[in-house]
Amino acid sequence: MSAGSVSFDTVTKRYGAETVVNGVSIDIPQGEFFTLLGPSGSGKTTTLSMLAGFVVPDEGRVLIGGADLTRVPPRGRGLGMVFQNYAIFPHLNVAENVAFPLTVKGAPKAEIKARVADALAMVKLDGFGERYARQLSGGQQQRVALARAIVGHPKVVLMDEPLGALDKNLRYHMQVEIKEIQQRLGMTVIYVTHDQEEALTMSDRIAIMNHGRIAQMGPPREVYENPESSFVASFLGEANLLKVRRDGEAVRGPGGTTIVAARGALAAGDGLVFMRPEKVSVTAGDAVVAPNHLPGQIQHASFLGNIVRYAVTAAEGATLICDQANGPGTQIHRPGDQVTLSWRAEDSRLLAG
């Protein structure tokens, strides 16, 4: 097994009567960018802490490179770490901060100097070695934390909400830089976030956690377009979840409309049909452009720059969100307009209620 592989083998952690991580099993190959995504209290940070060695599981094993390190303290695991608050030492300059992991290990001074220079160049902080934290922007401090995490050439780097304090534009640039560095070094990254867009942008695979369990795991596009539950559908991006019911061989939506979905199944009773807002077409009047169609009325129209987002009310009080690209010649609908919503069978999935 490669040195940068990571495995959680039915890992469980309890605090008193509360089980915060419940039987989690994950195998992560070397070089993968793997993200733990979920709401607050879902167990993602505790899972990362068990990998780091800060928390000892009550059951199960944590393996790195095939070796059982469940009881090994953090300093013996050879991991790089980047925290949300960066943890930059204010009394040390940038070079000394980055050098810290190597200094603690007693590495030769010449080696430390060379590695620090390489790490700072990689995060685009050449010439910043003599500066202190108070002289750095938030983005620069984040780069220092990243350089410190990779200076020792670890096979595995852990990142816990590292971009949470940055503004949107800087977050995006840092997402791109982190991904490029990860690919260049071939290191395994285990990343924790509650930001769905961040997870979709950076990850090779995503594990969505809820109540200490993995609700679904897979490549970003697969999880986004083919959720297996209403929780995953609604947590990972905007989602329309329309109430439907089985009527003999047919599935009926609001007003008795026939619903056709290429994925999922509804054996009996009530359920939901899922589709993403960008998959739903909005046309004036009763024009139909796909097999599934539903008349409605525009309630709200929000201009978001690259898209126009509509809230449309249909029969039985059902409300759907529809995103329309702001392209050349795009017709903008207004509140009160009568429209028809249409979507393809392959863009929707039946889910249990």
Q: pLDDT category, 267, cuts 50, 70, 90?
A: confident
Task: Name the percent of the chain lying above pLDDT 70.
Answer: 98
DSSP-assigned letter for residue 72 = S
Please indicate, yes or no, if residue 154 is contained in any of the structural domains: yes
Please indicate, yes or no, if residue 72 is contained in any of the structural domains: yes
Same domain, yes or no: 126 and 23? yes
pLDDT at 233: 94
CA distance 168 to 19: 34
pLDDT at 139: 83
Residue 84, pLDDT above cutoff 90: no
Least confident of 216-225, 260-269, 283-292: 283-292
Residue 7, pLDDT above cutoff 90: yes
pLDDT at 1: 66
Structure tokens at 222: 């697969």
Short-list 28, 122, 108, 121, CA closest to 66: 28
Q: What's phi and psi for 163, nearest 5 deg?
A: -110, 10
> Residues 252, 232: contact at Cβ < 8 Å?
no
> Residues 259, 292: contact at Cβ < 8 Å?
yes
Same domain, yes or no: 216 and 343? no
pLDDT at 200: 92
Burial of 227 (C-beta count, 10 Å sphere; 0-12/13-18/19+): buried
Query: Which among 225, 259, 278 is the end of a domain?
Result: 225
Would you list the DSSP string of 127-162?
T-TT--GGGS-HHHHHHHHHHHHHTT--SEEEEEST
> Residues 261, 248: contact at Cβ < 8 Å?
no
Residue 256, pLDDT above cutoff 80: yes
Short-list 154, 190, 217, 195, CA closest to 46: 190
Report which listed range, 20-34, 241-255, 323-337, is most confident.
20-34
**Number of C-alpha atoms within 13 angstroms, CB side, residue 132?**
5
Region 245-263: what's the mean pLDDT?
88
Same domain, yes or no: 259 and 182? no
Residue with the bigger pLDDT between 185 and 166: it is: 185
Supply the mean pLDDT for the chain: 91
CATH number at residue 26: 3.40.50.300
Same domain, yes or no: 215 and 71? yes
Rg (CA), the chain: 24
Q: Over the stretch 170-203, which tens digit does the pLDDT of each residue have?
A: 788 888 888 988 999 999 999 999 889 889 999 9
Same domain, yes or no: 244 and 213? no
Total domain count for the chain?
2
Q: How many residues does the chain have?
A: 353
Residue 11, pLDDT above cutoff 90: yes
> Residues 277, 233: contact at Cβ < 8 Å?
no
Q: pLDDT category, 163, cuts 50, 70, 90?
A: confident
CATH number at residue 312: 2.40.50.140
Same domain, yes or no: 55 and 176? yes
Same domain, yes or no: 123 and 163? yes
Same domain, yes or no: 210 and 282? no
Q: Over the stretch 44-81, which tens digit does the pLDDT of each residue have?
A: 999 999 999 999 999 999 999 999 999 999 989 999 99
Same domain, yes or no: 242 and 195? no
Short-list 179, 150, 178, 149, CA closest to 86: 149
Same domain, yes or no: 137 and 219? yes
Please indicate, yes or no, if residue 230 is contained in any of the structural domains: no
| Helix, strand, coil percent content, the chain, rounded in steps of 5 | 30, 35, 35
> Residues 261, 313: contact at Cβ < 8 Å?
no
Burial of 168 (C-beta count, 10 Å sphere; 0-12/13-18/19+): exposed
Least confident of 24-28, 85-89, 153-157: 85-89
The amino acid present at 140, given as its one-letter code, is Q
CA 197-139-44 angle, 5° bins: 45
Least confident of 62-66, 182-186, 207-211, 288-292: 288-292
Please indicate, yes or no, if residue 270 is contained in any of the structural domains: yes
